[in-house]
Amino acid sequence: MPDTTLKESVKIVLVDDHLLFRQSLESLLAACPEIEVVGKAGSAREGINLVERLRPDVVILDISMDGMSGLEAAPRIREMVPMTEILILSMHDNPNYVYQAFKVGCRGYVLKSDSAKELKQAIMTTATGRAYFSPGITTDFVNCFIVGTDMNNKSPFMLTPREQEICNHVMQGRSTDEMAADLCISPKTIRVHVANVMKKLSCRSRSELILKLQEQASN
């Protein structure tokens, strides 16, 4: 059973790769005496190290970050510091992301379009070990998580957000170099992501991958 009692203040680590957003979020939370920001990180890897060292009550993770996504960092944090609750703060209201977040051990999911009051409530709720969904996440999204399946059966949950992003580019017929330029990562990293997707979807070539993705999209 989760511990529903709170300490004097909830200690928070912020992990987001946008400096201005991190600074704004810290300023916003500074107005809440029951919340203390004890650390900030600009990447998932830096966030993992910071959480391991500081052991906060809650870590707020963005999903889309260069190098490693928040959903890839979450299970590592959960394994290293199981007492730290994980709250996703994202612009994405995609049901697959919500499902994946809870599947890898996140306790809450809030949208960046939500109000400061909503974020505070999410922090205070997840700090006690209880799950929290943003009101911006519809009943269908919640049902998607509870049932454990995609509503339209279109996107495999096994793919990370970055891999899903890669798939969108692959379906558009973009080259490795074009994808690397658009996503600001190296061609080598693109090739690794494509290889991982092909392995997960049991495809032997990029053309076979494109056909499979197109079939899923049309179902």
Are residues 39 and 137 both part of a single domain? Answer: yes
Are residues 80 and 186 both part of a single domain? Answer: no
Domain limits for position 55? 10-147
Are residues 202 and 116 both part of a single domain? Answer: no
Phi (first) and psi of residue 150, to 5 degrees: -70, 140
Q: What pTM was computed for the model?
A: 0.64
Are residues 28 and 63 both part of a single domain? Answer: yes
Q: Which of 94, 122, 147 is the last residue of a domain?
A: 147
Average pLDDT of span 73-98 = 89
Judge whether residue 183 has pLDDT over 50: yes
Residue 5, in any domain of the structure: no
Are residues 14 and 99 both part of a single domain? Answer: yes
Q: Residue 1: its pLDDT value, please?
A: 47
Residue 46, in any domain of the structure: yes
Judge whether residue 4 has pLDDT over 60: no
Phi (first) and psi of residue 84, to 5 degrees: -85, 125
Residue 75, in any domain of the structure: yes
* Amino acid present at 88: I
Q: Which of 120, 147, 174 is the last residue of a domain?
A: 147
Are residues 129 and 178 both part of a single domain? Answer: no
Residue 94, in any domain of the structure: yes
Q: Which of 93, 113, 147 is the last residue of a domain?
A: 147
Q: What's the CA gap between 113 and 115, in Å, rounded?
A: 7
- Going by pLDDT thresholds of 50, 70 and 90, the confidence category of residue 140 is low
CATH code of 116's domain: 3.40.50.2300
Q: What's the CA gap between 193 and 188, in Å, rounded?
A: 9
Q: Residue 39: its pLDDT value, please?
A: 95
CATH code of 178's domain: 1.10.10.10
Instruction: Kindly report, residue by residue over 197-208, the tens digit of the pLDDT.
Output: 888 888 888 888
CB-CB contact of 40 with 13 (8 Å): yes
Q: What's the CA gap between 86 and 192, in Å, rounded?
A: 28
H or E segment and range at residue 215: helix 206-218
Are residues 121 and 92 both part of a single domain? Answer: yes
Instruction: Kindly report, residue by residue over 39-71, the tens digit of the pLDDT.
Output: 999 999 999 999 999 999 999 999 988 888 898
Q: Residue 96: its pLDDT value, please?
A: 75
Q: What's the CA gap between 185 and 191, in Å, rounded?
A: 11
Residue 196, in any domain of the structure: yes
Are residues 70 and 136 both part of a single domain? Answer: yes
- Going by pLDDT thresholds of 50, 70 and 90, the confidence category of residue 97 is confident
Q: What's the CA gap between 105 and 71, in Å, rounded?
A: 9
Q: How many domains does one find in the chain?
A: 2
Residue 138, in any domain of the structure: yes
Are residues 121 and 212 both part of a single domain? Answer: no
Q: What's the CA gap between 170 and 211, in Å, rounded?
A: 10
Q: Residue 139: its pLDDT value, please?
A: 52
- For 31-69, give one letter per residue: b (16+ CB within 10 A) or e: ebeebbbebbbbbbbbbbebbeeeebbbbbbbbbbeebb
Average pLDDT of span 14-19 = 93
